[in-house]
Structure 1
């Protein structure tokens, strides 16, 4: 089992699109631990506000298998296969950390946006404050404390998810 952290985001009907995607994450990976949910302005393009948070869980799959499962969940929940990087989306699942792995392929890990997107760093630091990313020496709580919080606006919002009835 490998501990993984996944950034979850949506700005297209997020309160309707996120819960079924979480149900699928639960089916694939088992129990999920969620950070608080934050609302933030779109970054890199003009669009509706996003809901963002981080999920921690364990994967029995390889790195490539985990990335494939996340992509399949995105597509099953309305993500356009050829969506531009900076665009609105029903569900965005980004693998941030896969255990202690550092790599460039099949994706870059640790995910670079951990260091420069408040909507990734704040919920990740909240979920795993003492965690030190592979190749780093600074706990996430310290990274968040040192982060320039004037660059991006985000705020906690109420959000509640329970696995659907067939999974409880």
Structure 2
């Protein structure tokens, strides 16, 4: 069983899409645990604020199947393939880590956003502060402590999900 970390984000009916996305993930994967939920301003475009969190789960699926499952869940929630990178999202699911795997295909792991986006690093560090990502010398907790928190404003928001 592989341990995976998943980034979830939405800025279109965000609360609804995040909850339904979590429900879909819980049906597909074992032992789903979520971080706190954070609100942040849109990055790279003008738009409504995002809700973001990270989930940890276990799976027997290989990486390619995990990525395909995420795309199917996104599509079921109205995600348009081929849309601009910096644009509003109903649901965005990204595989951040898959055990100790480092790869470029079918997706780059560890996902580079871990180190550049507060809305990924903070919830990931909350879930796994002592985890050292493959290829890194520091724990996620240490990476978050060293992160320049002036780069992006985000704040925790109240969120209760039935399975959390």
Q: TM-score range by the shorter chain?
A: over 0.9
Equivalent residue runs for 1:51-62 within 5 Å: 51-62=51-62
Matched, 1:101 2:93: no
TM-score by length of 1: 0.95
Shift of 1:45: 1.1
Partner of 1:85: 85
TM-score by length of 2: 0.97
Partner of 1:63: 63
Q: How many residues align?
A: 163
Shift of 1:85: 1.1
Partner of 1:154: 154
Unaligned 5+ segments in structure 2 are: none
Structure 1 moving runs of 4+ over 2 Å: none
Partner of 1:166: none
Equivalent residue runs for 1:1-168 within 5 Å: 1-163=1-163
Please list the CA deviations of residues 26-85 of structure 1 after superposition, one character each: whole Å capped at 9, or x if unmatched.
011022110000000111111110000000001110000111001110001111122211
Distance in 1 separating the partners of 2:53 and 2:126? 10
Shift of 1:146: 0.3
Shift of 1:21: 1.1
Distance in 1 separating the partners of 2:95 and 2:131? 16
